[in-house]
Structure 1
Amino acid sequence: MFRRISAYDGSAEIPWGENLKDAPRRCLLIVPRGGAGDAVQLRHHLPIEVETLSVWSAASLANDDDPDLAADPAWTRRAVLDRLAEAVKSKWDVFILANLHSRMLPEDFLSAVLEQVADGKGLLVAHLRDGDGEPLRAVLDTLEPDPDGAAAVEQAKSLPEGMRDRTFVTAYRHGKGRIVEVQYPGEFPEHSALLPVPEDQVLIGRELERDAWSFCCRMVLFAAGWREPVSISRVEDASPKGPDPREIPPDLPDAFVQSMYLPVAASVLKPIAIGFSAPLPEPAYLQVRVRMPDSEDCLIIREPEPLPSGVREWTTEIPAGAGTRVIDVWLKDRRGRTLTWGGGACRFAGWPDFTRPPEFERTWVKTNDTLKISVSLFPHVDPNRTGIVAARCVDMYGRVLGIAASAVTAEGGEKLLALPVAEAGTGVLKIEVSAWEGDISQFREPD
């Protein structure tokens, strides 16, 4: 089933661990007030009961630690201590301590948390602000590495490129339980406790946040000891690869060389191969979401028939033009429970395609402005092939503020788009440039 999801349709936000099979049941989240909203995201992406214990700030347990603030009965030291003492009396599957100094937590509270971990529960630590010798850091420095810690480190590869190299995961054994520490060098977050802060904060958007939450959910599950029955080891383009560049004579025209890597017939469908870490232990339904990088639009594809048990790889087709697509994959059992999820980015050969990244006249616009965009496209050996190159301007609320399009012939070459911008009041605008094959009359503005 194909279903196009626009940026304004909440159903595009598919929970990563929707109805997850054998998920942990209870989580205690201890964070500063600014990160309390992370509980909403955890409940959205995982079928888990999350109770939040907020402290006043990363370094202050209560607001009466600050003499310049009026006392609030709910935020006095005694009130916060009582909430901590009451919460730790319950049994939890996983604890989360994030974006704070452990020195401000009562010693008996931290000891009670570590006792539950030693009995087989989990602890996730993120953005820990401890220096050498502070309580939790001193404990972590004495623990042995978890033998299965490499699996947690591997999950960092699912993060977007701008975050991947700045994320460090360490797993420890503590008695029967596991402690996972996630470190993000750089700034500490103000309005979250679990998410990394991109080095370039202009990159912050819903797509980046969505991918980061996939990683965070994985860390919560790993700390809790959840084991997936099978994992998605790879997602890759299964199209014929074409000849080795070393086998191509150097004097052939560019259009002829390019055509060697393209399908003979125009097609909107591209084959992808999905590999599994082990044979499927049971029949599983496949759900695929196809996204454009840095765009909120996506396609959701649900296979009507289950994949048979025992397969190690599955090939399916997705609608995708030339260029990079982000592909998210879920496996679900017959009862609709998620068995695992994964994905990756695939670069598809096709026409029309860009010879270089689009070039912009400038990096700023005004209201009722026009932005000129220069693109260069590969030629095609078949003179009958036609296509379209288009650009649109999207603001931080997902509103489309301008669209420009131009027809493309088999000659390719340079094209100049004049993109109108209706308004520029949100501070940051995103310009999306893409190309498709087909007659320009086939495309309408919503496409």
Structure 2
Amino acid sequence: MALKAQINIFTEVKSENEMAKEAGRKGSRRIVHPPMPPKLKLFRPVNWYSGAMIEPVGEYVSHILRELGRLGLQVRDIERHDRPPNTKTVLSDLIGWLSDRPGEAFAKLFNWQTLDFAQVRSRLEKDRLARPRIEVSAHITKMNNLSVRWHPGGWKLTDFDWHRADHHYSNLITHRKWREPPDFHWFVGDEDPTFDSRPSNELMYIRGVGNLRPEPRENYGPYATYNADVVDSILICAVRSAYEGLISQLEYSFEVDVVDAFDFVTQEEVAEADASRYRSSIRRVTAWSLEDAAELRARRERDAAAAQDKRDRAELANIAVSHGFSLEILVAAVLRASSRKPTGPAPSGEHVNRNAAKHLRNVGFKVDAGDVRRIRQLIERYNPEILPEELRPASLAPPAAPLSSNNVVPLRGDDGR
């Protein structure tokens, strides 16, 4: 019986091996499947507002930390500690900067012994609200790190002075030609960084900011573990908020000239995490740059003026739809309201607007004096040729004829000559 059992076992093993060979396998070896790529973990984006509604840097940092906990990740999972310029430790550096500001740089900035009190006193005599003037600049280093530094006000307009007699090797005030006397008589900074020290006038240093790429991506690759573009979008918001928050704090004690400013490109996105029926959209940052603050401010003003001009032209072209009457009807009503009565003074501008609005309401149009004033302003700006001569403002009146010998009447003297 024992021999028969062994024969049966041998027969079963043999049949399994034959089946395996028929299936293209050797023996009972298992098929090894390639490892599946890790599941992509999605950070929820944040909204960016401009103007006075910018969130403080702590809100962005807290959002990332909450998302790390929700997704089961750690800070090191979204950072890169490679050799420069591939380092990207923005979150860690921001947390460190929030908890421990650069002591030496802030101590030198607020050291009143370096102030030129005579210069500050002379400015206070002209303006009692005058404060010491400084400049704050920011730039991305060749290693893609953000460096924020301060200088005495007027520094960016100075040139190196090679012939100054009172030149002092460590006092940079004596190294420059100043267009206007600075409010400091002593300034040291802009030293070359070393492995364990930074320039003594550096107020903020964040590694890897230049490596942030918030541009939306359609494909993250087979080995991506999280949506890096969204994380970079949140981080650059935090960096800008920290930079502008620092400037706001300095403005309590100084007159701050901001040399460089962040510029954002945003796009509207629907908040996927919003489970409500009416999901709100967010303005997500998709690109950024660090630019000259004065040029950026001028460009924004031009863009705002162009956008306002476009809206005003569209408003004027839509008067017939929005109010129900043509421009010619309004001009006729204003002309009628401007006519002077046989007695009394000529009606003022506001009286004309009210009387014209009253006339238009009497014939069935829904309009008030403010509407008439606004439409008149648009006509004077964009379509003044439809106004009669008496309604045109003084700036649009034709110029007076130049004086010539033909239109000058000579005055007679006492002797009749």
Which bin holds the TM-score, normalised by the shorter protein?
Answer: under 0.3
User: Normalized against structure 1, the TM-score is what?
Assistant: 0.21
Of the two, which has the highest radius of gyration? Answer: 2
More helix by share: 2
User: Normalized against structure 2, the TM-score is what?
Assistant: 0.22
More strand by share: 1
Question: Larger RCO: Structure 1 or Structure 2 (Cα < 8 Å, ≥ 6 residues apart)?
Answer: 2
